Amino acid sequence: MALSAGVAGASAAGLTSCGKGDDEPSASGANMRTYGERAPQEKTQRVIRELSASPGTGSSRTPLQDLYGIITPSALHYERHHAGVPAIDPAKHSLLVHGLVDKPLIFTMDDIRRFPATSRITFLECGGNVVGEQRGIFPETVQGSHGLLSGSQWTGVPLGLILREAGLKPEAKWMLAEGADACRMARSIPIEKALDPEVLVAYGQNGEALRPENGYPLRLIIPGWEGNTNVKWLHRLHLTAEPAMSAKETAYYTEIRPDGKAEIFTFVMEARSVITRPSGGQKLTSQGFHEIVGLAWTGRGKIRQVEVSVDNGKTWAEAELQEPVLSKALTAFRFPWRWNGEEVVIQCRCTDETGYLQPTREELIAVRGLNSGYHYNGLRPWRVKATGEVVSA
Amino acid sequence: MALSAGVAGASAAGLTSCGKGDDEPSASGANMRTYGERAPQEKTQRVIRELSASPGTGSSRTPLQDLYGIITPSALHYERHHAGVPAIDPAKHSLLVHGLVDKPLIFTMDDIRRFPATSRITFLECGGNVVGEQRGIFPETVQGSHGLLSGSQWTGVPLGLILREAGLKPEAKWMLAEGADACRMARSIPIEKALDPEVLVAYGQNGEALRPENGYPLRLIIPGWEGNTNVKWLHRLHLTAEPAMSAKETAYYTEIRPDGKAEIFTFVMEARSVITRPSGGQKLTSQGFHEIVGLAWTGRGKIRQVEVSVDNGKTWAEAELQEPVLSKALTAFRFPWRWNGEEVVIQCRCTDETGYLQPTREELIAVRGLNSGYHYNGLRPWRVKATGEVVSA
């Protein structure tokens, strides 16, 4: 391997007792802390994009190019808010279940914590992630293109247990889940999905309480479904016979087809993959061995295979998947590569356990046209220039 | 189920448009942040115990009673330092590999990141966790008894790749791993273990860089082995024919047997389990349904089974294991329980995939006596009093 590690020129004998360098202390270090923080040298951060003059209305993107594995640090989980992050006191927060139920109920947070709980590692992705690429807008970094994507371990109560406590009437076919943010962001969920044991009313994220920007103290988690159905700051479940046709399921989060009609209730996030290193904005500083790493995920179960091409799409070879490969979770992959210093396009594609193969942009546009962009899941090539610079291809 | 949720007394009709409560905003909330923080209401924290007048010498314990799932937030990962937390500049940090090698090498952090990387979810536990219980000292909370235990997703380079780059001489049978803290904490690792593909030179923890108190920028991860072999602030690997007999493997981290001789190099953390909720210091506020939850883990592979007793140890019933059940990782379990309001002792025990059953304290003492305490893995009963208060049993 062409590592740049230098052979220690001097005999190592003089270093056997201690390899002390400039940065290595000879006095005791800092004290312990009750709640830790990252090292001051670490600067990776979410990139914020405000979409309105109202504070907190917009998105912040996860720095996928800097992260490892399948769990996103909660501090770097992507955000997408429609009316900012409300400050909710969990001691006063409650969840109302009403509508077509036998007995309307209000649950406090203490009530909810009395139910049996379950934990699940899953990805969460905004339905608008990669939205521009269908129309030919290619951000220069993976944070810009795919950063509305994160992975967490969520903990909470299966929603079905709460609904059964209230008792569903036979005519209850839909459930409106509403958040306590100022805009009362709300989505209609078909009752069969609401009763899926995978669906959680979650209060835990990565071992501790939800973060404020992730719905503290309570949110819906629907593994594999578009982000905004995973309603944050959840305070109301309204059981109904028909969908509510809320703003966020009619005016937004729908896909305009080539014939001008809109697809609505397109819930499932289909298989996607992207190379995170090397990716746009990074630079290879030497020829020789580089590991290509990235993420694959699908709302339909497990990732079965990831393939990588390092020759402008002419040939593809299988990447190694990092265990554990979990259903509806981020799956990390890696691929050993020897760069010969020539300009080349690298890219990846994935197949999920249903046999679905991630499409090229051309294949996707042939079906969906150019009117829309939600749920875009085309391939994402990166160009490695002879200088080592990596740019959008 | 005897939930305390109140049926909404009034007709829910007045609430259909909005279940707005005192805490629910009607104006836009806070803005997005580049790096998030937990909610101000969340106060759970590590409990610090200083063991020396030198700053940072001692331990801080993970609040297991408050956490969810198998990943511990990095901010709450346990600490055990022998000379505080050094402030290391990763741009100046290096790893020296020398001794019985073909060519001594020094690797910068950039060099190390050029190697193929792997991620692994694993537990980490201090060899001195639960140390007092062998001698009859029973802390009142699970944080006090078992809090030198955490679970993380670690990312780094298989150590064997780095050792093979230097080339091992045939007579290299041990490897001293030394940290860059002021005391140069060091442990000797048998070469067969150093070459185990599971063993990582890690720079990532839970998706981002290691935290300072977890060895930033580089530490050893030896899944299933006692915490202090997972050397933090790793800066030197010395290949030798014999173990170094360092202070931390002779004067400490050894077990005095009943005959007065010491067991040394007792690396593997054997199977343990503990109920984290309800546990000491908590209080049940009502009879009826409660979910008993806890953790099990073993340095010998996967947890096969956890059993729970809710009748003072007379009978045992199988608990449900939360997927994923991963080798040498924390495994969460849960057990549904209906409390009838009488005083009772609850406890758990686990069996790992080797068939090893976690012993009672009496069984353990019959073999190991009372001289020591490292690696104590006896059962941990909790007494639920008729008042609902939970105390050490």
pLDDT, tens digit (0-9, with 9 covering 90-100), for B56-79: 999 999 999 999 999 999 999 999
* DSSP secondary structure of A257-317: -TTS-EE----BPPPEEEEEES-TT-B--SSEEEEEEEEEE-TTS-EEEEEEESSTTS--E
pLDDT less than 50: residues of chain B: 1-19
Token representation of residue A344: 């080349």
Q: What residues of A are in contact with residue B122 (Cβ under 8 Å)?
A: none
User: What is residue B81's predicted lDDT score, i.e. its pLDDT?
Assistant: 97
Q: Closest residue of B to A42, CA-based?
A: B209
Q: pLDDT confidence of A34, banded at 50, 70, 90?
A: very high
Mean pLDDT (chain B) is: 93
Q: Which helix (H) or strand (E) holds B114?
A: helix B109-114
Average pLDDT, chain A: 93
pLDDT of residue A14: 34
Average of per-residue pLDDT across A96-116:
97
Q: pLDDT tens for residues A380-392?
A: 999 999 999 999 9
Tell me the two tokens of residue A145. 């293109």
Q: Do B26 and A182 touch (CB under 8 A)?
A: yes
pLDDT the model gives residue A8: 38
- Interchain CB distance below 8 Å, A89 and B41: yes
Q: Which chain B residues touch A86 with a CB distance below 8 Å?
A: 24-25, 29-30
Map out the domains of chain B with their CATH numbers.
94-263 (3.90.420.10), 272-392 (2.60.40.650)
pLDDT of residue A4: 40
Predicted pLDDT of residue A3: 41
Chain A residues inside the 8 Å CB shell of B155: 68-69
Q: Which of B15, B22, B31 to mutate to test the interface with A (most CBs of A within 10 A)?
A: B31
Q: What is the pLDDT of residue B55?
A: 85
3-state secondary structure of B166: helix
Of residues A71, A389, A385, the one with CA closest to residue A208:
A71
Integer Cα distance of B39 and B23 in angstroms: 15
pLDDT digits (tens, 9 = 90+) for A157-211: 999 999 999 999 999 999 999 999 999 999 999 999 999 999 999 999 999 999 9
Q: How far is CA B66 from CA A37, B76, B350, in A?
A: 19, 11, 21
Residue A53's pLDDT is 86
Give the C-alpha separation, A40 to B174, whole Å: 35
Interface test with B, best of A43, A208, A210 (most B CBs within 10 A): A208
Percent of chain A with pLDDT over 70: 94
Helix, coil or strand: residue B94: strand
Query: Per this entry, what is the length of chain B?
Result: 393
Interchain proximity B73–A74, CB inside 8 Å: yes
Burial of A332 (0-12, 13-18, 19+ CB in 10 A): buried
Cross-chain Cβ contact B235/A86 below 8 Å: no
In terms of DSSP bridges, do strands A234-240 and A94-99 run parallel, antiparallel, or are they unpaired? parallel
Confidence class for position A134, pLDDT limits 50, 70, 90: very high
Neighbour count for residue B282 (Cβ, 10 Å): 19
- What separation, in Å, do the N-terminal and C-terminal C-alpha atoms of chain B show? 28
Radius of gyration of chain B (CA): 23
- What ipTM did this prediction achieve? 0.93
CB spacing of A182 vs B25 below 8 angstroms: yes
User: By CA distance, what is A109's nearest residue in B?
Assistant: B5
SS3 B351: strand
> What value does the mean pLDDT take over residues A3-28?
49
> A with B: how many residue pairs have Cβ under 8 Å apart?
398
Cα–Cα distance, B151 to B123 (Å, whole number): 4
d(CA B350, CA B333): 10
How many residues are there in chain A? 393
